[in-house]
Amino acid sequence: MLFDKPKKSFFGKLSEKISEVFLGRTVDEELLEELEEVLITSDIGMDTTMKIIGQLREDVRKQGLTTEQQVKDRIAGIVESLIDKGENHQICQEIPLVILMIGVNGGGKTTSIGKLANKFKQEGKSVLLAAADTFRAAAGEQLELWGERVGVNVISHHEGADPSAVIFDAIQSAKARHIDVLICDTAGRIQTKKNLMVELEKMNKIIGREYPEAARETLLVLDATTGKNAISQAKEFGEITDITGIVLTKLDGTAKGGIVITIADEFNMPVKFIGVGEGMDDLKEFDPAEFAGGLFNE
């Protein structure tokens, strides 16, 4: 299960809000407009909300939806159709695999790397970490702590070193040790977008040159609790580099899960993993049908 009955989760809150709108009323245009407001205040973006309500309005007319549960079920179905990106939700299973982890500082990137390394190791894969965020103080030390905790090695240089040099050394080590998965931390300085773009381009060029046989993933880590800021980050990073998937952290009982729907729909980005707690195993593979189906299971 993606969620183990979190107290007052996004799902329960959304269901409650919709129930408050109904209160015995019939399904009419005024009610649909109020539902639209509920979705927007749940961190579902304006464009995505308009798609959901537009489809719902059509289905109310064609299918004669009259009850609260019928409307809730139909919203869940529409949401699933918007967020389901098919096989793209699955992490690449080819080996060797190189994963570039990107995202702003403080979004849970390093923690997600540790949890992802643990997941791969539990699957029987060998893992190596590269501490290529050399500009943030103690970033390398933080990653090494996770390496010790999971039981995997970390390639790191001194603070301020060239991040691409770390990637180069990590690739040589991964090839020499026949490592299955190389996970690379990167700097999260979105404020200096041009510098970050150049940095990521250089990293990708080195990976392509030194490790052409490796499969590639670029995962953007976003903090669900930041709401619309996470949506802005998805847009910003999407302009900098090609993103193959999203890791959405802190999607627990306090988070507004609507950003899952917005990111998957407006940016056509598959959510691959969600963080639902602090534990080592609390990084779950994202299941669109389960997410949509859980919208109104309070």
Q: In what order do the strands lie in the sheet with 153-155?
A: 153-155, 127-131, 181-185, 97-102, 215-223, 245-249, 271-275, 283-285
Whole-angstrom Cα Rg for the chain: 21
- Burial pattern 179-211, b for ≥16 Cβ within 10 A else e, equals bbbbbbbbbbebeeeeebeebbeebbebbeebb
Is 185 annotated to bind a ligand? Reply is yes
Per the annotation, does 145 bind a ligand?
Answer: no
Is 124 known as a binding-site position? no
The answer to whether 223 is annotated as binding is no
106 is in an annotated binding site: yes
What is the separation of C-alpha 221 from the centre of its chain, rounded to a whole number of angstroms?
Answer: 6
- Is 24 annotated for ligand binding? no
Read off the DSSP letter of residue 92. P
Residue 104, annotated ligand binder?
Answer: yes
The answer to whether 175 is a known ligand-binding residue is no
Report whether 12 belongs to an annotated binding site.
no
- Check the annotation: does 41 bind a ligand: no
The answer to whether the annotation marks 292 as part of a ligand binding site is no
Non-local CB neighbours of 86 within 8 Å, separated by 6+ positions = none
* Rounded Cα distance, 140 and 205, in Å: 23
Q: Is 105 annotated as a binding residue?
A: yes
The answer on whether 2 is annotated among ligand-binding residues is no
Q: Is 149 annotated as a binding residue?
A: no
Determine whether the annotation assigns residue 252 to a binding site: yes
Structure tokens at 68: 């609260």
Q: Which residues contact 159 (CB under 8 A, 6 or more apart)?
A: 134, 135, 137, 140
279 burial (CB, 10 Å; 0-12 / 13-18 / 19+) is exposed
Query: Annotation-wise, does 187 bind a ligand?
Result: yes
CA distance between the termini of the chain: 14
What tokens appear for 276 in the block?
């639902």
- For residue 192, say whether it is annotated as part of any ligand binding site: no
Residues contributing to the annotated binding site for GTP? 103-110, 185-189, 249-252
Residues contributing to the annotated binding site? 103-110, 185-189, 249-252
